Chain A
């Protein structure tokens, strides 16, 4: 759904339009759940977080100031709630401790051959740390700009670009290795 349509829905939700709320839910529920689930790896808790996110959207739609797109605003709410869970439960977040020294150049051509196999790509994605995986998801599932991802996660744009770059390097390395080892 295009951003302009989402804007219109949030305006209507601010006027307590339940049909608009339902439409926004249908547009964003699945990607939001996916986003939360990748971080929490707990479908029940993730469903609760998605529920809380939409309740917050319902309550604060009138205060939405359009400093970002609706999608970015909603994902930022979800990200904050996920981080709240991490803080409450004392879970470790890798957000600030990601290694940035994976710059040796894996073989892009070999990785490309391996990537013809979707299962190999999925396996390598699953091997990423949650913060790398989230960055890749927002980039390729949500097609967000690095500026929007920075807003969602509350980090500088340079951090986002660097994180996605390193995630790409790790994926290339994983795919090359799978090709070398003859794994699917």
Chain B
């Protein structure tokens, strides 16, 4: 047999869920039976309604919003072949650079080893479009929490650091999506 104190405690624990209207019909009936006889409990219900209304009215205005959605949609974009793009870009530039060097300095070996920007794991090589505005590039890097750690190389490549908690593949996909800014992006290996 449940004594009165146990019943009061049980109903007091149900009050918040009475206010948010998620109780079963049996629980609701139990709460209402006690409420009818207890003015203190009714004051608690009024108080909980005030608290609920205050919480509902409070907004956090700095959620990721549309920026977060854009980042997310880029991340779920079907993967393309970033490295092939990068390789093609590097090859094209290299052919031109090599030919030029060969013609003017035929006795020297053309060097295009990314001019001192050897990369570590979790890093990308990124080539931005020559006409990409600096502000737009900065915004893009900030959105993905990326940091340029070296570059540009002779081939125009930047070495970009990807945060540990972020998938490099997702970042590559996102950078490729920003095709108006990024010429190529690929994992640095």
B-contacting residues of A (Cβ < 8 Å)?
A: 18, 21-22, 25-26, 29-30, 33-34, 37, 43, 47-48, 50-51, 54-55, 58, 105, 108-109, 111-112, 115-116, 118, 121-122, 125, 136-137, 139-141, 143-146, 148, 161-162, 164-165, 168, 171-172, 175
Contacts and interface: CB of A to CB of B under 8 A. Distances in A.
Contact of A29 (B15, B51, B62, B63): B63
21 contacts: A25-B68, A25-B69, A25-B72, A29-B63, A30-B59, A33-B60, A34-B60, A37-B60, A51-B68, A55-B75, A115-B47, A121-B50, A136-B16, A144-B22, A145-B20, A146-B22, A161-B13, A164-B13, A165-B12, A168-B16, A172-B47
Nearest to A111: B47
A116 B69 CA distance: 37
A37 B60 CA distance: 9
Contact of A48 (B21, B23, B165): B165
Contact of A121 (B22, B51, B64): B51
Contacts of A115: 47, 50-51, 54
Contacts of B52: 140
B65 interface: yes
Contact of B64 (A50, A109, A118): A50
B14 interface: yes
A171 B14 contact: no
Contacts of A22: 69, 73
Contacts of A111: 47
B68 A112 contact: no
A108 B16 contact: no
A51 B74 CA distance: 11
Contact of A122 (B40, B48, B54, B60): B54
Nearest to B61: A30
A49 to B, nearest CB: 10
B17 interface: yes
Nearest to B45: A108
A55 B72 contact: yes
B96 interface: no
Given A51-B64, A55-B76, A168 B44 contact: yes
B46 interface: yes
B76 A137 contact: no
B55 A137 contact: yes
Contacts of A47: 63-64, 68
Given A112-B46, A112-B50, A140 B16 contact: yes
B52 to A, nearest CB: 4
Contacts of A146: 17, 22
Contact of B57 (A43, A112, A118): A118
B108 interface: no
Contact of B47 (A55, A108, A143): A108
Contact of A125 (B12, B55, B59): B55
